[in-house]
Amino acid sequence: MTWEARHVSVAIDAPPAAVMAYAGDPANLPTWAAGLASGVRPGQDGAWITDSPMGEVTVRFAAANDLGVLDHDVTLPDGSAVHNPLRVLPNADGSEVVFTVFRRDLMDADAFEDDAAAVLADLERLKGLLEGDVG
């Protein structure tokens, strides 16, 4: 069985290395990932603890790499883990940031749409920060 997936993306007028450095730093999550973090602190073994709308969650990013992979696993308050594919791709002189949203088991169509919209809002906020459009 597979889940329905939607690739949500934004073009950012910043080089991939700059996007990777900013978005891949868990300390920056509260500035752009409102759906995930309103506060963040280091956890154990490279994990980060965030205060999310769902409660306290643990975030663990993929190892640092030059391939544009910013995948991260989020462990929810109930102990379940969600894998979130996030990529930074070269796009001319800038970047294309792509987040894959999955419609997981028991997620209705409205919740899936809401999740995709929240991800788009987060990516737009990231774009504004990196392009200097957020005041």
Within a 10 A sphere around the Cβ of 79, how many other Cβ atoms?
Answer: 7
Pick the closest to residue 62 from 28, 24, 36 (CA basis): 24
Mean pLDDT, all residues of the chain: 90
pLDDT attached to residue 35: 67
Per the structure, the count of domains in the chain is 1
Helix (H) or strand (E) run with residue 129 in it:
helix 109-131
Tell me which residue range forms the domain holding 58: 4-131
Encoding tokens for residue 99? 């987040």
- CATH number, position 47: 3.30.530.20
pLDDT attached to residue 56: 87
SS3 89: strand
Q: How far does Cα 67 stand from its chain's mean position?
A: 16
* Mean pLDDT across 97-107: 91
pTM: 0.90
For 14-66, write each residue's pLDDT tens digit.
999 999 999 999 889 889 987 666 788 888 888 889 887 778 889 999 999 99
pLDDT of 104 above 90: no
pLDDT attached to residue 27: 87
pLDDT attached to residue 13: 97
pLDDT attached to residue 37: 64
pLDDT attached to residue 17: 96
- Taking the C-alpha atoms of residue 14 and residue 19, their distance in angstroms, rounded to an integer, is 7
